[in-house]
């Protein structure tokens, strides 16, 4: 997976988990690039991917602000529900992940 996609996936997961909340500002691209040891354009491309997924809003001069979509919250709730149902019925994690992948690819 390209580095920009890894950056976007990591931030997306943190938003979905509630670690990064709506309205929070992401680190400046230069700052994050320096801390990760990557080119600033790599971070910007990751931020653009998050923008395209409607998870952040990019504001010139103000940076990236989390705007976590209601759809993301709905998916998060659905995942919690699916995990609870899997636990209640004894479905193992690998089986649950397989079912999710199958449904996602359908």
Residue 9: its pLDDT value, please?
A: 95
Q: Is the pLDDT of residue 74 over 80?
A: no
Q: What is the largest CA-CA distance in the chain?
A: 51
What is the pTM (predicted TM-score) of this model?
0.67
| Mean pLDDT across 68-90 | 83
| Mean pLDDT across 82-99 | 95
State the first-to-last Cα distance of the chain, in angstroms, to the nearest integer. 22
Q: Greater confidence, 63 or 5? A: 5
Q: Is the pLDDT of residue 79 over 70?
A: yes
**Whole-angstrom distance, CA of residue 106 vs CA of residue 10:** 25
Residue 104: its pLDDT value, please?
A: 87
Residue 75: its pLDDT value, please?
A: 78
């Amino acid at each position: 997976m390209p580095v920009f996609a890894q950056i976007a996936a990591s931030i997306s997961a943190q938003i979905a988990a509630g670690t990064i909340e709506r309205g929070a500002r992401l680190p400046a691209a230069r700052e994050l690039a320096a801390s990760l040891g990557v080119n600033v354009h790599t971070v910007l491309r990751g931020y653009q991917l998050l923008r395209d997924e409607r998870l952040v809003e990019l504001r010139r001069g103000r940076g990236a602000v989390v705007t976590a979509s209601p759809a993301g919250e709905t998916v998060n709730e659905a995942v919690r529900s699916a995990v609870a149902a899997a636990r209640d019925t004894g479905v193992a994690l690998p089986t649950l992940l397989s079912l999710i992948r199958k449904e996602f690819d359908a």
